[in-house]
Structure 1
Amino acid sequence: MFTVDDLTTALQVTLSDLEFNKSIIARGVDFNDLICAPPSSGWFGADEEGKRIVKVECFSSQNTPNFYMRPIEGLTVTVDVDRKEIVKITDTGRGIPIPKATNTDYRYTSSPFSDMTPLTNPMSMEQPKGPSFTVENGHIVKWANWVFHLKPDIRAGMIISQAKIRAENGEYRSVMYKGFASELFVPYMDPDESWYFKSYMDAGEFGLGATAMALLELNDCPRHAYYMDGVFASADGRPVIQPNMICIFERYSGDIGWRHSEIPVLGFDIRESRPKVTLVARMAASVGNYDYIFDWEFQTDGLIRIKVGLTGMLMVKGTPYENIYNIFNANDMTGTLVSENVIGVVHDHFVSFHLDMDIDGANNSFAKVNLVKENTLPGQSPRRSYLKAKRKVAKTENDAKIKLKLYDPSEFHVFNPSKRSRLGNPTGYKIIPGGNAASLLDLDDPPQIRGAFTNNQIWVTPHNKTEEWAGGLLVSQSKGDDTLAVWSARNREIENKDIVLWYTLGFHHIPCQEDFPVMPTVSSSFELKPVNFFDRNPIMGATPTFQKDLPVCSASRSY
């Protein structure tokens, strides 16, 4: 990862350069309003060999804290941080105006909110007996039938490990040895001189934990949340504390755990329902302009939901256009005009998760369960076709490289071939993809070579303690020679082995006006769900909620 010293050096070298300062003056920017940020440079060939390169780009903060919406377009400084010298200055955008600050301030205390802004009354979940979870020794979380270890991490943000769930006989059974966000790849889709290199590896280059800011009580996390600090070592070895970096809380939003009612005409008067209460571990990383919200949500039925939310600011490009009717050639646009003189450039987000599953022990296998259409025989049935589930166990890594396809419906199981249920089925968990996106870049495009873990949505590898970071251990200016794709190309055996499941969650983002000046959160998720792990529904014995169990509350006004 880049250190604070690296980034500070890049800024100092830039701000002391005469050519750079002349360009800032020529653009009419007051140096008191100048904000410069050092984005990573990626890897684009031999010209960068032997140099530790940082790019520097600048903005104007005049009349707004949201400087990201006021880029100084076309001015990019390439700095060698080891030699403390400028390698190149690109200055091509002097004719492009700096976007105005109007309507860019997003702070509650400063923004003039319209009377038409949607408002709701404040609400919270009350827990008169307090939370149902405990945190022992600062890291061991116990809740309902779950126990797991939770640790802040400077690179991954947070790591869930030793996740176990209690069976009906009281025994705690292993589900996952370790799970975390391994890498976050964000390539922008603009070939211009000041944009082509923008293809960030946010975990490996900046650190999801290093960029995690303190969570805001009642807004980032609800009442009764437990907060955990991150304690990391800085580049010089001194401890750094990230306060309130992770929160843990119980969630109830009116969802149903299970229910069934019988129609009275059949002679049964049955209405049974159980509320769904879950436990969430959350952290948020502010990696420059973007904020990433990571939730690990545990359910009493054994399901784990992993969700990623995107919010914060777009990375925008300055343009002379104020309206789409002024654009002479729409093909030159690499994004949407989201405000006057502001283009929201098309980009992707890919989050690769390292999931070291240990279903009832370390040695597991991976199976793809396909739904296959079968045709009936003549005269066999009024039906012409039906579906059957066909299971294929992966022998090697190549067998487990999965590209998700809507018209090839499948389930993906991690199971223990040596552990059987009461009925003889192998105990397991399945990964259930949610909304997803695949990389469309050429495989030999330099950003895609570095982000080759996005070539598939699912991978399975044998456990190797040196293979934890999907983009490689050392990501800054990496050439893509130490990625998940490189490791998996060895096609090692994975049947009945200590294996790691990898899942890449993707977003294609075509910006729109509603993303300006700060984005509403957009989320996607996937699930890890028991499959023949329990002998029956594990929450059959869940207790319904009765009015007497709840605190007596009254509204502050009548309607």
Structure 2
Amino acid sequence: MCFYLDGTVNMYMRPLEGVTVTVDLEEMKIIGFWDRLTVPMPKAEGTDYRESEQKPPFLPPLKKITVVQPDGPSFKIDGHKVRWANWDFHLSFDMRAGPIISLASIYDLEKQKFRPVLYKGFVSELFVPYMDLDEEWYYRTYFDAGEYGFGLCAVSLEPMRDCPENAVFMDAYVVGQNGKPVKMSQIFCIFERHAGDIMWRHTETAIPRTIVREVRPEVSLVVRMVSTVGNYDYIIDWEFKQSGSIIATVGLTGLLEVRGSRYTHKDQIDEEVYGTLLAQNTIGVNHDHFLIYHLDLDVDGDSNSFVKSNLKTTQVPDHGSPRKSYWRVVSETAKTESDAKIKLGSKATELLVVNPNKMTKMGNHVGYRLVPKSGAGSLLSDDDYSQTRAAFTKYNVWVTPYNKSEKWAGGLYVDQSRGDDTLATWSQRNREIENKDIVVWYTLGFHHAPYQEDFPLMPTLSSGFELRPANFFESNPVLKVKPPQDVMRLNCSIFKVV
């Protein structure tokens, strides 16, 4: 890939189209050069043009600066173990996945014990296919975790910019090319979020001459990492709420991957350009982002089941009511992997992982809901080579029995993959998943048709999902959260918004 710099570091916005250079990395010599716009690019017999890209080298880590609350953080970190409010979990770092949350359990005040929720959760793969079919573009169907390392591309976080002033920072270590450990500074930040949200509230106005009001502000704990894979920056958050929810959020920002063009106005375009004219001679290419999460839930134990609860419109069978219809919940427990595959958006569906061996006092199975915030799925055909390798994007939800070798949705060796070692191939065995140790795989998708506001640097676009208690507690677990005390605060500001 060739770019025109002319004194700027923003090379991604100045591509040279039609030029392909082949480099011998051992000799560090250019051994091939083609300009497609003047000379057709030759193809050798039997050549298999596979996806590839040389990513820029890492910048050295920034100097570590730790900013904490005056009275210390509101959470405790012991090695990689984090304790906050009613949550206890383990945070680790992986060169391929980035942050891994494991052994997450929540304290049940009524039962007076910690109860397990999430055994392990992480980003298993990130698939980014571009829709341009030209010679220099068709192969750009990146697997950012399996090919480049989502964790390897993590960057140092800046206090007061990437993370708030009350954040605590943690380093990570990776294996260098010589086998020795390499320190990556300030890869994680952990902070208590006071965003002005409401945990719960109610105002009772039906009592004459009396107003009863109760409000509790929302306070949560956030674990954050940023991975810069080439031109895109991915902001990965794991947020823990006192109500029992775990929220995973992905924010996309950074730079678009654009192509040079002869067009300076949309009216001049008379061909398929695979994107949007963002500026003079600059096309923002249509593309997707698919992040698939590995969620090994252990809801109050490791024997769980997956339940699909569809909301079904039902006609009133007689004239006993002036209403003509209503909806009811029709639940179905998935018995095999095929039963659990779901494409979101076709119907209203509640997705639950329950423990069929544990019930509340009311007789409901304890569980956790998967609340998706995205139902986007792949629009590529099944026989497209890139889609064959990324067949895990065909469904938004998969459920498999736990298998320690089934960790990476794109296969163990993604660079060499031909689609024969992926989540889609494992699931073809159609194994039993009822009342077993199961793994839920959720594919979070973005279809990105660029707009001019995304150029030259893209404002953050976010989505995610929530793991929310579903009859896990006997009642609202945060009813006894104390209201905040009034505190005299200094009237000061650090940043001025202009």
Picking from 65, 69, 73, the partner of 2:13 is 69
**Structure-2 residue corresponding to 1:167:** 108
Deviations 1:282-303 (A, max 9, x none): 0000000000000000000000
Distance in 2, Cα, partners of 1:538 & 1:266: 31
- The residue identity in structure 1 corresponding to 2:418 is K
**Aligned AA (2:15):** P
What whole-Å deviation, never above 9, does each CA across 1:231-277 have from its counterpart, x for those lacking one?
01123211111110011001011100000001155454201000000
Please show how residues 281-430 of structure 1 align to structure 2 within 5 Å.
281-327=223-269, 329=270, 331-406=271-346, 408-430=347-369
- 2:121 matches 1:179: yes
- Note the C-alpha offset of 1:536: 0.2
Q: Does 1:448 align with 2:387?
A: yes
What is the CA-CA distance between 1:88 and the residue it aligns to?
A: 6.3
Other-structure match for 1:457: 396
Q: Write the letter of the residue equivalent to 2:348.
A: P
Which residue is equivalent to 2:54? none
308-317 or 233-242, which moves further after superposition?
A: 233-242
Partner of 1:16: none
- Counterpart amino acid of 1:76? T
Which deviates more, 318-327 or 486-495? 318-327
In the TM superposition, residue 377 of structure 1 has moved relative to its aligned partner by 2.1
Which amino acid counterpart does residue 161 of structure 1 have in structure 2?
Answer: S
Shift of 1:326: 2.7
AA of the residue aligned to 1:147: D
- Which structure dedicates a bigger proportion of its chain to helix? 1
Aligned partners of 1:128 and 1:551 also within 8 Å: no
**CA, structure 1 residues 199+420, in 2 after alignment: closer, same or farther (shift >3 Å)?**
same
Kindly provide the amino acid, as one letter, of the partner of residue 553 in structure 1: L
Give the ranges of 4+ consecutive aligned residues of structure 1 lying more than 3 Å apart after TM superposition.
Answer: 77-90, 125-130, 264-268
Partner of 1:156: 97
Matches of residues 184-333 of structure 1 in structure 2 within 5 Å? 184-263=126-205, 265-266=207-208, 268-327=210-269, 329=270, 331-333=271-273
Q: Over residues 128-173 of structure 1, what are the superposed CA-to-partner deviations in whole Å (9 max), with x where a residue is unaligned? A: 5432111012x10000000000011111011000000000132000
CA displacement at 1:322 relative to structure 2: 1.7
Note if contact 1:417-1:426 (Cα within 8 Å) is conserved in structure 2. Answer: yes
Query: Counterpart of 1:393 in structure 2: which amino acid?
Result: T
1:436 deviation in Å?
3.4
Does residue 515 (structure 1) correspond to residue 454 (structure 2)? The answer is yes
Question: Aligned partners of 1:357 and 1:339: how far apart in 2?
Answer: 46
Q: 2: distance between equivalents of 1:235 and 1:465?
A: 27
Distance 2:24 2:432 in 1: 43
The one-letter amino acid paired with 2:362 is L
| Residue 21 of structure 1: aligned partner | none
Distance across 2 between alignment mates of 1:273 and 1:88:
68
Distance (whole Å) between structure 2 residues aligned to residue 466 and residue 72 of structure 1: 42
Tell whether the 8 Å contact from 2:345 to 2:375 is kept in structure 1 after alignment: no
1:474 and 1:78 mapped to 2: Cα distance?
24
Deviations 1:388-426 (A, max 9, x none): 1011000000000000025x1011110111111121211
Give the share of equivalent positions with the same residue, in percent.
53
Separation in 1, partners of 2:14, 2:71: 50
Pair 1:265–1:551, CA change in 2 (3 A): closer
Partners of 1:556 and 1:497 in 2: CA distance? 53
1:436 and 2:436 correspond: no
**How far did residue 323 of structure 1 move?**
1.9
| Aligned-partner Cα distance in 2 for 1:444–1:164 | 42
Aligned equivalents of 2:283, 2:117: Cα separation in 1: 45
- The alignment covers a number of residue pairs equal to 466
Show CA shifts across 1:63-120 (max 9, x none): 211011111111123567689998965421469xxxxxxxxxxxxxxxxxxxxxxxxx
Q: Secondary structure at the match of 1:363?
A: coil
Cα offset for 1:378? Answer: 2.7
Partners of 1:246 and 1:184 in 2: CA distance: 20
Judging changes above 3 Å, is the alpha-carbon distance between structure 1 residues 344 and 146 closer, same or farther for their aligned structure 2 residues?
Answer: same
Residue 553 of structure 1, aligned match among 485, 490, 496: 490
TM-score (norm 2): 0.90
| CA deviation vs aligned residue, 1:284-338 (integer Å, no higher than 9, x gap) | 00000000000000000000110000000000101111222332x1x42211111
Structure 2 Cα separation of the partners of residues 535 and 265 of structure 1: 29
Q: Distance in 2 between matches of 1:413 and 1:289?
A: 37
How far apart in 2 are the matches of 1:297 and 1:538?
A: 17
Retained in 1: the 8 A contact 2:73–2:168?
Answer: no
* TM-score, normalization by structure 1: 0.80
Amino acid in structure 2 at the alignment position of 1:451: A
User: SS at 2:386's partner residue?
Assistant: helix
Q: Name the CA shift for 1:542/1:239 in 2 (closer, same or farther; >3 Å).
A: same
AA matched with 2:82: V
Partner of 1:142: 83
